[in-house]
Structure formats: structure tokens, C-alpha cells
A = this chain, B = another copy of it.
Amino acid sequence: MTHDTTATSASRRRFLTTTLASGAGLAATSFVPAAARAQGGPDPLITEVQPWASGFGDGVDAHPYGMPIHFEDDVIRRTVSWLTADVISSINFTPIHALDGTITPAGCAFERHHSGAIELSKPDYRLMINGLVERPLVFTYDDLERFPRQNVTCFLECAANSGMEWGGAQLNGAQYTHGMIHNMEYTGVPLRLLLEEAGVKPEAKWVLAEGADASSNARSFPLEKMLDDVLVAFKANGEALRKQHGYPVRLVVPGWEGNMWIKWLRRIELGDQPWESREETSKYTDTLTDGTSRKWTWVMDAKSVVTSPSPQAPITHGKGPLVITGLAWSGRGAITRVDVTLDGGKSWREARLVPNANPLSLHRFYLDHEWDGSEMLIQSRCIDATGYVQPTKDALREIRGLRSVYHNNGIQTWHVAADGKVENVEIS
């Protein structure tokens, strides 16, 4: 097992040597191409160098709020029509196969709604805190802006992410298998401060958070979590939350399943027992092999996936230097290590993990590999700060069976063919 910190001088030299020797899949072409020299063709300076623009471009008034260039029109959220009965209670997927780094731009950060993304203005917004409190309160949006704020960068993963894969490889693309996730920098008010304002009664042990959408999505939380790191958030990546992500106010529940990050946050109630809402009984519980279900499985366990190469991001350049990259995350603490195998688990190499000071953020990893052009079975496996090791899918299935939905954090396998095409496969 070797540790790639960054490319060594030796590997960089090999890069050039290989590409020139192979003649195919050139990674860096000589300034004066052999072909041009041999044929006495046009000045290679003119044919090879990037021409200057021959005219002016867009002025600074063209796009008060900018969008991606049209060449990137395929880097979008996508949905799967057969997954749910209607698009208003459905999900779309972040194009993680096409992104890099760790921040997810809001425009392509996945959405999950139970009755559609509703429109709710700041002047109309109200947040009630009631139940076992000394003083029930209703906060306006302007009220919330007057409390001390915090910032946190953390991932939001839907509990159902990779849920279609319990029974075997179903969906051909990292966007579909692992794209129910995004990672943004949130700004908001610690819920703790609002609860202290209302005065939590000693008998209060549980908290209900409820959204204003027609589905009235509601979840029970142990009070300790709500007093710990939960934010009543109004900004993501610096700007107002997008409508799809709960504008103007949502809960941010670092490390916990996305369904609990209540959007269009309407009401916080304190009680002495959980509410057993629909979304924590008939849904968002975990079927086991014996037919019973676990509930209160809130934390997202350590998980990783190679985002490129992947079915939607095949290798197009032939053998030689290849950047293998992916994401890793855990709701229990920072990712401390990611290993990658290219042979279906026979041997592993430690990936280069980009340091991330935000423990519950997505982490980016890279493996800089010299590909010999033969087929590969690529997997990634991560370890978090608790020492937990991401399990195989089969290890999970022993406990959870093949008909579960949520909390599938098993190791994903991509088969890379000699032509660079990639498929979602199962290995045992």
C-alpha cells in the first residue's frame, strides 16, 4: 500500500515519457508537432497555439446573475421518471460525476420534496416555538437575523441515497447511485439560542421540527442534538437559500439524514416523547432481514464513491496518466483515510485525501494512477475519525437484506473496460 501525497518527480517524468512513447492518447504534445515538421505544413505556432479572440466578448452588464456557459448544459440535476409516482414528491440528483472540489453549487444541488418546492416570502415567514417551553414564541424572519450567527460547511445526504442498489447494481452513473448529496457553507442561528429564548422546561426531552409545505414533513429529535450543532439557517454558500432548499429558512442538522433538515421551517415543538410521525415510522426506518425495522437511525455513516472515472465520466484518453477522484463523508466525524482498489479489492492503495477542516463536510480524494489500459474494478473505501470502516454491500445485506431502502453506505464498484467505458457492477 503506497501513500500518494502528490505526484513525485519520477511519476511526472514518466508521464511525458509514456505519452511520447505510446503515440496515442498524448497528454502533452510537443510544441512543433512531428507531422507538421515532416510535411512542411503551416506554421505550428499558428496551428498549435490558442488563437487570440478576434473580437470583443460580453460586457459586464450582460449577466447580473450568471449561469454556467452553454457548453456545460449537461451538468444539471437529473431525475428518474420511474422512481416515484409524481415529480412533486420525488428527488433529483446532483451531477457529482462532473464536479470536483467539495462545494456543491446551489444550482445543481439535489432536491427532495414531499409535496413540491413551495414559495414563501420573508415578510410572510413565521417560526413558532411551542410545547414544553416557558414562553411560546413566534419569530419573524427579521427576528432571526438579530440573533448571533454561525457558519458551518457540511454535507446533506438523503437517507435513500444509493437506496436503489440494495438488490444489486441498478443505475448506471454516480449521479444516480450517489447523487442525493450536496455540500454547502451554511449561515444561520444556533437553534439553541432560540430555545433558550423560549425557555426549555425541565421535562422536555424531545423536539419536533415541522415544515410549512403541504406534506407537513415533521421529525422528532432528541433535545441534545438540537442544543448541540443544529442551525436555523437562512443562507447557503453565502446567498439566500434557494426555493428548492427551503427558502427562506431550513434546519441544518450536521451529519444527520437529509429528511431531518426541515425545509420551510414552520414550527418547533418541545415534548417529553417522540411524535412518531409518518416520516419516522412508515418511512425513514430501516428494514432488516428478519422483517422488522430499525427506527431512529439518524446519523449518516461513513461512505465514499469514485466520481471519475464512472459510468457518466468514462476514460476517453487511453492509457497513461489517469486522475481517479471521488468523495468521502461521514456523519460521525472527519474522514481520516480513503483507500482505492483497481482490482476489485485484491489490493488497495491509499488515496491522497485533501485536508478539510470541516469534519462533517464532503472530503475530496485523488489517486494519480498510471493506467496500463487494461480493465479495472474500481472501489473506494473510507475510514472516519471514529475508526469505522465503510463496509461492503454484502456485509450490509447480511443484516439488512435486499429490500431495504435507507442507509446504504456500502462500497461501490465500477468496472472500467479497456476502451475506457465504465459500468456499475456487483462483485462478491
Contact = CB atoms under 8 A, between A and B. Distances in A.
Contacts of A186: 101
A59 B87 contact: yes
A88 interface: yes
A243 B106 CA distance: 18
Interface in A49-83: 49-69, 71-72, 75-79
A323 to B, nearest CB: 6
A61 to B, nearest CB: 5
Contacts of A112: 60
Contacts of A185: 101-103
B138 A321 contact: no
Interface string A2-43: 000011010010011000000000111111100000000000
Contacts of A77: 60, 63-66
A277 interface: no
Interface in A243-294: 243-244, 247-248, 264, 266-267
Given A138-B48, A149-B323, A59 B116 contact: yes
A291 to B, nearest CB: 31
B214 A323 contact: no
Interface string A380-401: 0000000000000000000000
Q: Which of A78, A143, A364 has the most CB of B within 10 A?
A: A143
B193 A12 contact: yes
A2 to B, nearest CB: 14
A22 to B, nearest CB: 13
B65 A113 contact: no
Contacts of A223: none
A170 interface: no
A137 interface: yes
B321 A57 contact: no
Nearest to A368: B148
B56 A214 contact: yes
Contacts of A50: 120, 124-128, 212, 264, 266-267
Interface stretch (A201-209, A234-242, A298-306, A413-421): A234-242
B118 A53 contact: yes
A325 B212 CA distance: 30
Main secondary structure, interface of A, reads: loop
Nearest to A78: B64
Contacts of A193: 7, 12
A239 B75 contact: yes
A354 B151 contact: yes
Interface string A111-123: 1110111111110
Nearest to A59: B87
A309 to B, nearest CB: 11
B146 A321 contact: yes
A196 interface: yes
A90 interface: yes
A68 B69 contact: no
Given A65-B108, A146-B320, A354-B151, A100 B57 contact: no
Contacts of A99: 235, 238-239
Contacts of A122: 71
A358 B357 CA distance: 9
Given A28-B143, A52-B214, A147-B323, A88 B57 contact: yes
A86 interface: yes
A237 B31 contact: no
A321 B240 CA distance: 21
Contacts of A105: 105-106, 237-239
List 9 tightest A-B contacts by C-beta distance, closest first: A57-B116, A59-B87, A357-B357, A31-B136, A64-B76, A57-B118, A50-B126, A56-B116, A100-B187
Given A59-B116, A75-B240, 20 more contacts: A6-B150, A6-B190, A12-B197, A15-B147, A29-B139, A30-B138, A32-B136, A48-B128, A48-B138, A50-B266, A56-B116, A58-B117, A60-B90, A64-B76, A65-B107, A69-B247, A71-B122, A103-B103, A142-B316, A148-B323
